[in-house]
Amino acid sequence: MRHFGHLPAEVRRELFHREPGEFTVHSPARTLATALGATLYSPATRPRLADDIVKQAGRGVVSMVLCLEDSIDDADVADAEENLVRQFADLLDRALDDTLPLLFIRVRTPGQILQLVRRLGPSVRLLSGFVLPKFTEESGVPFLEALTAAETPEIRRHIGGRRLFAMPVLESPELLHLETRADTLGGIARTVDKYRDRVLALRLGVTDFCSAYGLRRAPDITAYDVKLIAGVIADVVNMLGRADGTGFTVTGPVWEYFKPHERMFKPQLRRSPFTGSAEALRAALIEHDMDGLLREIELDRANGLQGKTCIHPTHVALVHALSVVSHEEFSDAGDILGPERSGGGVLRSAYTNKMNEVKPHRAWAERTMLRAEAFGVAREDIGFVELLGAGLGTS
């Protein structure tokens, strides 16, 4: 797998100073967590799920969640489980292991983990792990214990000795409510630290947070404009997203919209980056309310989040285009991490537009280089408009 690997090689050469690196299910957890990118959710009830997975992989999707929880009716769970088993067997028969996205199953109960791993049989080798809903210390430990117990010697042979990962979803009311937030965060921190080798990333369930107060943000309102939500995101990153080696990758919240809605506010995209033929791209983004999504992706990064939960394929290219490291970021990070800078100090950036202070900016530079490995480094004259156009097939 590699980001932008669905583009022709000549297009990648035109876009990238350093192309995205390849990775597999056997890559280090830190690499995989950074490379998740836009994680596309799909209900596990879809009758042609195997075809959908192959199609989305061909469009640049590198991680997917097949959902048995909130996206399907309670009465459909048994049929959805049976469908998953059939669809995984279908994918295994096609022998497409190296071209499939990282596949995760979102379960409802710990028992489903044990049952599904057993029922998948040899096709479990296509599975990267499980998404654990409404995660707290009390609810999370049974899920993680079940995941550990599911890896019998036979299953370990099927998956080639690697481990199945967990991606807990932080979405419980106890985490949102102010009077229980600190204790809930502390319990989550203890649990994920104990199972650190299994936790690939932490996902934020902002829709559930909004539900607790009867809220729903409009397509021109980001999660960070809803103060209740912004507050809990900040606290999650504060405790669980630290850059001192104790933190985890925390992914951005879902964007719910994918078709035009009546607008109240002005578009949030400046005209200047969209010159010439790119003006049509700008118009299309605004028409489909994607300017709000673009702004939220930028705010995700500014607030310490990486990647994003997506419920529509049209969102994927936007997340990935804005995940590519700019040539300027790469230049700054390289200067900060240079061996001659081990003692600290401050220097003017090669772009002569900012200060790079070696010690305070070091953690940022290290994260930037990890992102560069996963998403590549754009050429000096390439911006997000060109990357987005290529990803959407409009360039």
Give the model confidence (pLDDT) of 236-254 as tens digits.
999 999 999 999 999 999 9
pLDDT of residue 286: 65
Residue 383 pLDDT exceeds 60: yes
**Beta-carbon-side half-sphere exposure of residue 385 (alpha carbons within 13 Å):** 17
Q: What are the structure tokens assigned to 115, written together?
A: 């049952």
- Greater confidence (166 vs 98) lies with 166
Give the model confidence (pLDDT) of 199-236 as tens digits.
999 999 999 999 999 998 888 889 999 999 999 999 99
Contact at 8 Å (CB) between 196 and 190?
A: no
pLDDT classification of 122: cutoffs 50, 70, 90: very high
Residues 6+ apart with CB under 8 A from 6: 57, 58, 59, 60
How far is the C-alpha of 164 from the C-alpha of 150, rounded, in Å? 9
Give the model confidence (pLDDT) of 163-195 as tens digits.
999 999 999 999 999 999 999 999 999 999 999
Residue 95 pLDDT exceeds 90: no
How far is the C-alpha of 305 from the C-alpha of 233, rounded, in Å? 9
Which residues face 355 on adjacent strands? Answer: 348
Q: Strand, coil or helix: what is 347?
A: strand
106-120, 141-155, 210-224: segment of lowest average pLDDT: 210-224
Q: pTM of the prediction? A: 0.92
Contact at 8 Å (CB) between 3 and 35?
A: yes
Contact at 8 Å (CB) between 98 and 125?
A: no
Q: Average pLDDT in the 147-158 region?
A: 94
Which residues face 63 on adjacent strands? Answer: 39, 102
How far is the C-alpha of 297 from the C-alpha of 324, rounded, in Å? 12
Residue 138 pLDDT exceeds 90: yes
Residue 85's alpha-carbon distances to 43, 82, 124, 130, 161, in angstroms, are 14, 5, 9, 15, 21
Q: What are the structure tokens assigned to 1, written together?
A: 């797998």
Phi, psi (5° rounding) for residue 40? -90, 125
Nearest to 155 by CA among 129, 133, 191: 129
pLDDT classification of 68: cutoffs 50, 70, 90: very high
Ranges of each domain in the chain: 21-323, 326-395
pLDDT of residue 197: 95
26-40, 48-62, 335-349, 362-376: segment of lowest average pLDDT: 335-349
Contact at 8 Å (CB) between 219 and 255?
A: no
**Beta-carbon-side half-sphere exposure of residue 113 (alpha carbons within 13 Å):** 25
Residue 288 pLDDT exceeds 70: no
How far is the C-alpha of 225 from the C-alpha of 380, rounded, in Å? 33
Residue type, 278: A
Q: What percent of the chain shows pLDDT beyond 90?
A: 78
Q: What are the structure tokens assigned to 214, written together?
A: 């009867």
Task: Label residues 373-389 b or e (16+ Cβ within 10 Å = b).
Answer: bbbbbbbeebbbbbbbb
Answer whether CATH 3.40.50.720 is correct for domain 21-323.
no
Residue 264 pLDDT exceeds 60: no
Q: What are the structure tokens assigned to 198, written together?
A: 């299994």
pLDDT classification of 261: cutoffs 50, 70, 90: low
How far is the C-alpha of 283 from the C-alpha of 269, rounded, in Å? 10
| DSSP 8-state symbol, 383 | -
Residue 59 pLDDT exceeds 60: yes
Residue 48 pLDDT exceeds 60: yes
pLDDT of residue 340: 77
Nearest to 374 by CA among 22, 8, 10, 9: 22
Q: Average pLDDT in the 280-286 region?
A: 72
Average pLDDT over the chain, rounded to an integer: 92
pLDDT of residue 265: 61
Residue 308 pLDDT exceeds 60: yes
DSSP string covering 76-120: GHHHHHHHHHHHHHHHHHHT-GGGSPEEEEE-SSHHHHHHHHHHH
Contact at 8 Å (CB) between 304 and 371?
A: no
